[in-house]
Amino acid sequence: MKIIIALLIFSIIIIFHELGHFSLAKANGIRVNEFCLGLGPTILGMTKGETKYSLKLLPFGGACMMEGEDGESTDDRAFGKKSVWARISVVAAGPVFNFIMAFVFSFILLSCNGYDLSLIHISEPTRRTPISYAVFCLKKKKNKLKIYSTHYLTTLKHIHPIEHKRKRPHNGSL
């Protein structure tokens, strides 16, 4: 089940990426021959207008195949016949759409879950512990120490230094 969920999430990312290439290719007047999800032989396919939409056998990868993308073409709507900025926008659209998707998903997650910003206030920490050094540095710089969970505060209160003295024999051997 986890593999199916991973493939589904990966497919959504790929579709969104390829949709970036596809939408800017169409906006710039570039002919798109095929828009597919997956690699290998075609399982499902349909043609709408000049573009073939297909689902391939292997569920990873995808493509937005444009006219003249791989070589020379006599078509006026070929990828190679468009301006440099039109080609740059089509090529950059996939990664830009990935950033947009990441921003939207991050916004949704933070809106649903939020984040917890806690402040640690320590009165007198035990000597010779990492937390006492942190408090010393904070008092010296007059800053506030920020953490993202109150669990650390309760955990740090119970830390006590362990003093261990090892007795050595008088002859110098361990």
Q: What is the DSSP string of the chain?
A: -HHHHHHHHHHHHHHHHHHHHHHHHHHTT--EEEEEEEEEEEEEEEEETTEEEEEEEEEEEEEEEETTSSS----TT-GGGS-HHHHHHHHHHHHHHHHHHHHHHHHHHHHHH----EE---SSPPTTSHHHHHHHHHHHHT---EES-THHHHHHHT-----------TTS--
Active-site annotation holder among 18, 50, 69, 124 = 18
Catalytic (active site) residue 124 = no
Q: Which residues are catalytic?
A: 18
